[in-house]
Amino acid sequence: MTVVLPRSADRAAGMVTELRQRGAEVRLMPLIDFEQPASTQELDEALRMLGQGRFEWMVLTSITTVRALKQRAAALGTTLPDLIGDTKVAAVGTATASSLEAEGIAVDLVPEGTMDAVGLVEDWPLGTELRPEQSLRTKVFLPQADLAANTIFEGLMGKGWQVLPVVAYHTVDYPARPERRITQSLAPAGAPDPQAGPEPITAEDFKEAVAAGEIHAVVLTSPSLARRLHHVAPHLPEELLLVAIGNSTAAESRRLGLQLAATAAQPTPQGIADALAAALEQRPNRR
């Protein structure tokens, strides 16, 4: 089958490799990109606070967030591991955790249930469990996208934690402006060789290929990407398999009226491939 990943090559290599190993043909169609904020003053101040050990925890919700922070740390003349020091680190999923570990950053918490914002809040310790000597460090640093939902912020506040949410990057239509684009690469374990991806196609190429029956599945990796796909291709045929990478993406896809064939149990390349395989098995006219 032919699978479209609406991502750029530098963010798709792991998934491309997994799908190819399963026998799929993969095409890339980047629809969204990422930029630094117009003013990085608030982010820079939060990173200085991080370097001063003024947070108990830092929460990372995506590999893009890791890239954005690493890029900003370099601009400040330091490194992300140096800034983090002994601050505890939580990652929403295993992919984000792996990218952090490849950068030499230990991860203290990954949700054991659903690997999303809801799962992280469920597994988060109560603020009242802190020892008295930790009372000055009961803040949580939450760098995130400008379009991020309030799930983690409200959930951790509800558990008695002081949370500082800061916009680390903006989600924009592809391509981002060169002077603001998040270009920072990560260590190999966190970001496979970007050259592993095929040549990208445009939205017009995609619509023509779908109409011709040449595209069989699309992977939706974020709510913002689901919105963008719906904008550029609002009328998709029922036989096209749409697979969401997580619950938040699935919820937004359903809100948009997109008919999902499956939602990955784990937000990993293997989880996506398993979801695609299961969806294909359920189709009576499967190839």
Going by their DSSP bridges, the two strands 32-35 and 162-173 should be labelled as antiparallel
Look at residue 264 and tell me whether its pLDDT is greater than 50.
Answer: yes
Res 137: pLDDT: 53
Mean pLDDT of the 138-166 span: 94
Res 209: pLDDT: 97
Q: Which tokens sit at 220?
A: 């939706």
Specify the range with the lowest mean pLDDT, choosing from 194-203, 211-220, 276-285: 194-203
Mean pLDDT of the 260-264 span: 95
Residues 6+ apart with CB under 8 A from 255: none
Average model confidence (pLDDT) across the chain = 90
Domains of the chain in start order, with CATH, are: 2-30+200-281 (3.40.50.10090), 35-173 (3.40.50.10090)
pLDDT 10s digits, 90-128: 999 888 999 999 999 999 999 988 888 999 999 998 875
- Please state, as a whole number, how many other Cβ atoms lie within 10 Å of the Cβ of residue 283: 12
Q: Which tokens sit at 47?
A: 């990173």
Report the alpha-carbon angle 221-225-230, nearest 5. 125
pLDDT band at 229 (very low <50, low <70, confident <90, very high): very high
Mean pLDDT of the 259-280 span: 92
- The strands making up 25-28's β-sheet, listed across from edge to edge, are 25-28, 2-5, 217-220, 241-244, 262-263
Instruction: Give the residue with greater pLDDT, 155 vs 135.
Output: 155
Q: Tell me the pTM.
A: 0.88
Look at residue 84 and tell me whether its pLDDT is greater than 70.
Answer: yes
Look at residue 37 and tell me whether its pLDDT is greater than 60.
Answer: yes
Mean pLDDT of the 62-76 span: 97
CA 229 – CA 244 distance, rounded (Å): 12
User: How much of the chain, in percent, has pLDDT values that exceed 90?
Assistant: 78
